[in-house]
Amino acid sequence: MTFGNVIYRLVTGSSWHFAAEISRLSVIVASFIGISYAARKGRHISMSAFFDLSPRPVKKALAIIIPFVTAIVLFAVGYFAVLYTHGIYESGRTTAALQFPFWLMVVAIPIGCFLGGIQFLRNMWINIVNKEIYLAQDKKDYSEQQETQI
């Protein structure tokens, strides 16, 4: 879209005023919908020094508690995001250039938080039912991985 904007501007000397809005929408959608996918792959950034150095039982406990609390926080944020999105929906606000309803711009936030919360619950569950320690559903703890990390 941004690229199209340049070409269009170079060719016609004018601009797609809505390029910025579409890009903004995609960034919000990608960021929040991506929470659950990154959670599944264990790609969220964290400071793992204490975790890495802990003895196995502590590690196991943390591997259950951390995703649980994270899920709770995400559900709480998701709940407030529903309220926020609903408020925008009621106000009837639209975007400046494309004039489409503004609530569409932010609706990815509640959806992403709830999907993310569910995925963190699954990360917790896999640590409850399995003996091994999982950093995420698709990622075992570094010390228990057979294959080397790239």
Partner 1 sequence: MLWTLLGVMVITLLLGFPMMIPLIAGPLIMILFFMDGLEPTIMIQQMAEGISSYVLIAVPLFIFAADIMTSGRTSQKLLDFVGAFVRHLSGGYAITTAAACTMFGSISGSTQATVVAIGKPMRQRLLKAGYKDSSAIALIINASDVALLIPPSIGMIIYALVADASVGDLFIAGIGPGVLIFIFFAAYAFIHAKIFNIPLAPKADWKERRSVFIKALMPLGFPVIIVGGIYTGQFTPTEAAGISVLYALILEVFVFRSIKLKEIPDIALSSGIVTSAVFVLVAGGQAFSWVISFARIPTMLTDAVIPADPTALQVLVIVAVFFFIGCMFVDPIVVILILTPIFAPVATMAGVDPIHLGVVIVFQAALGSATPPFGVDIFTASAVFNKSYLDVIRGTPPYIVILLLTSVLVIVFEDISLFLLNLF
Partner 2 sequence: ACGGNDDGADNGNTDTGNNGDNGEAAGDIEPQEWRFVVEETQGQVQYEYAQEFADLVDEKSGGALDIDVYEFGALGSEVDQVEQLTQGIVEFAIISPGFTGTLVPEGNIFALQFLFTDDQETNQEILNESEAINEQLVPLYEEQGILPLAFWTEGAMQWTGNSPLQTPDDFQGFQMRTQESPLILESYEAYGANPTAMSWGELYTGLQQGAVDGQENPIFFIADANFNEVQDYMTISNHNMYVTMTTVNPDFYNGLDEEVQQIIDESVEEMRERGFEIQEEQNNEFLSQIEDDEDNPTEITELSEEERDAFRELALPVRDYFRENGGDQAEEILDTLEQEIEDMSGEDIGAGESGDDAEDEVDNENSNNDMNEDEDDEE
Binder of partner 1 out of 105, 111, 124, 133 (CB under 8 A): 105
Distance in Å, CB of 88 to partner 2, minimum: 8
Stretch that binds partner 2, among 29-37, 60-68, 85-93, 108-116 (CB under 8 A): 85-93
C-alpha R_g of the chain: 21
3-state secondary structure of 140: strand
Under the binding rule (CB under 8 A), the answer on residue 148 touching partner 1 is no
Contact 134, 63 (CB under 8 A): yes
Q: Is 22 in the site for partner 2 (CB under 8 A)?
A: no
Q: From partner 1, partner 2, none, which one binds at residue 46 (CB under 5 to 8 Å depending on kind)?
A: partner 1
The answer to whether 63 and 135 have CB atoms below 8 angstroms apart is: yes
The residue to which tokens 């601009």 are assigned: 15
Instruction: Decide: is 106 part of the binding site for partner 1 (CB under 8 A).
Output: yes
Binding segment (CB under 8 A) for partner 2, from list 30-38, 87-95, 111-119, 129-137: 87-95
Nearest residue to 28 via CA among 102, 117, 93: 102
91 binds partner 1 per the rule CB under 8 A: no
- Rounded CA-CA distance 38/79 in Å is 21
Residue numbers at the binding site for partner 2 (CB under 8 A):
8-9, 12-17, 20, 87, 91-97, 99, 102
